[in-house]
């Protein structure tokens, strides 16, 4: 039913992403490259940096943009754990409201940029701060700033990074460990899964 419905719908499938920093974030500069003639990718607005505030900003955006009227849409709230127990607790506190509003929480530890590092290697990924991760990227690239076109640099290694991220997550589950408290981890690949799913609808 979903395939037939999409082909009779004038609107392209939509992915909505809320990340800290909005259109100034690493996530924005990375995921905007995945938008194409078959898929819309939008970033919610708002200046909050705490999980609850970001969720409130996202819910406001969903309401203002009438996102719930979309037939083919997935919504993601992208959060860094920062390896901070208080922040982890704040993420847990919004889980039920996210489920209620069909929002999937995507976390990375300590920061989103660990996803970039997974394009380079599968070991030596444990860092204590986001600054350490960014310094390592700087070493590998010669330079690193959040507005860099990292997609262009790493796109050929995306399958490798996905496999590494999935393997780490599966290991955490097998060991009965808590994902949010695990270092390292990232579920960014799940957004790419959604992108692939929507793109395949048009094949």
Higher pLDDT, 4 or 21: 21
pLDDT at 11: 84
Indicate the helix (H) or strand (E) that contains 198: helix 189-200
Residues 6+ positions from 203 with CB-CB distance below 8 Å: none
Residue 59: alpha-carbon gap to chain centroid? 17
The pTM is what?
Answer: 0.93
Whether residue 22 has pLDDT greater than 80: yes
pLDDT band of residue 150 (cuts 50, 70, 90) is very high
Q: Mean pLDDT, to the nearest integer, of 56-80?
A: 97
d(CA 22, CA 172): 29
Whether residue 203 has pLDDT greater than 70: no
Q: Mean pLDDT, to the nearest integer, of 121-141?
A: 96
Instruction: From 28, 82, 15, select the one nearest 50 (Cα to Cα).
Output: 82
Other Cβ atoms closer than 10 A to 67: 19
Q: Give the model confidence (pLDDT) of 100-121 as tens digits.
A: 999 999 999 999 999 999 999 9
Q: Mean pLDDT, to the nearest integer, of 43-51?
A: 95
The SS3 call for residue 11 is: coil
Domain of residue 44, residue span? 2-200
Whether residue 53 has pLDDT greater than 70: yes
Whether residue 1 has pLDDT greater than 70: no
Whether residue 2 has pLDDT greater than 60: no
- Strands 73-80, 185-186: parallel, antiparallel or unpaired by DSSP? unpaired
Residue 149: alpha-carbon gap to chain centroid? 16
Q: Are 16 and 61 in contact (CB under 8 A)?
A: yes
Whether residue 6 has pLDDT greater than 80: no
d(CA 69, CA 189): 26
Higher pLDDT, 146 or 7: 146
**Residue position matching structure tokens 């599966």:** 170
Whether residue 85 has pLDDT greater than 50: yes
Whether residue 149 has pLDDT greater than 50: yes
Whether residue 56 has pLDDT greater than 60: yes
Tokens of 172: 């955490």
pLDDT at 10: 63
| CA distances (Å), origin 134, targets 13, 25, 94 | 33, 13, 28
Whether residue 183 has pLDDT greater than 50: yes
d(CA 192, CA 108): 15
Helices (H), 71-157: 85-93, 95-100, 114-117, 130-141, 150-154
- Domain total for the chain? 1
Whether residue 155 has pLDDT greater than 80: yes
Q: Mean pLDDT, to the nearest integer, of 5-23?
A: 79
Q: Is the peptide bond before 129 cis (omega within 30 degrees of 0)?
A: no
d(CA 41, CA 68): 15
């Amino acid at each position: 039913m979903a395939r037939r419905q999409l082909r009779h719908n004038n609107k392209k499938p939509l992915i909505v992403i809320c990340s800290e920093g909005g259109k100034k974030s690493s996530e924005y500069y990375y995921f905007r490259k995945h938008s194409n003639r078959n898929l819309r990718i939008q970033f919610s607005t708002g200046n909050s940096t705490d999980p609850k505030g970001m969720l409130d900003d996202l819910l406001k955006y969903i309401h203002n943009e009438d996102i719930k009227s979309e037939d083919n849409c997935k919504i993601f709230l992208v959060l860094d754990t920062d390896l901070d127990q208080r922040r982890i607790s704040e993420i847990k506190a919004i889980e039920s409201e996210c489920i209620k509003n069909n929002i999937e929480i995507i976390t990375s530890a300590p920061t989103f940029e660990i996803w970039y590092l997974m394009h380079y290697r599968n070991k030596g990924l444990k860092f204590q701060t986001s600054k350490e991760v960014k310094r390592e990227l700087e070493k590998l690239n010669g330079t690193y700033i959040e507005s860099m076109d990292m997609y262009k640099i790493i796109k050929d290694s995306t399958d490798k990074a996905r496999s590494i991220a999935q393997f780490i997550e599966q290991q955490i589950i097998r060991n009965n460990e808590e994902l949010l408290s695990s270092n390292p981890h990232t579920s960014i690949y799940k957004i790419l899964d959604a992108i692939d799913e929507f793109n395949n609808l048009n094949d």
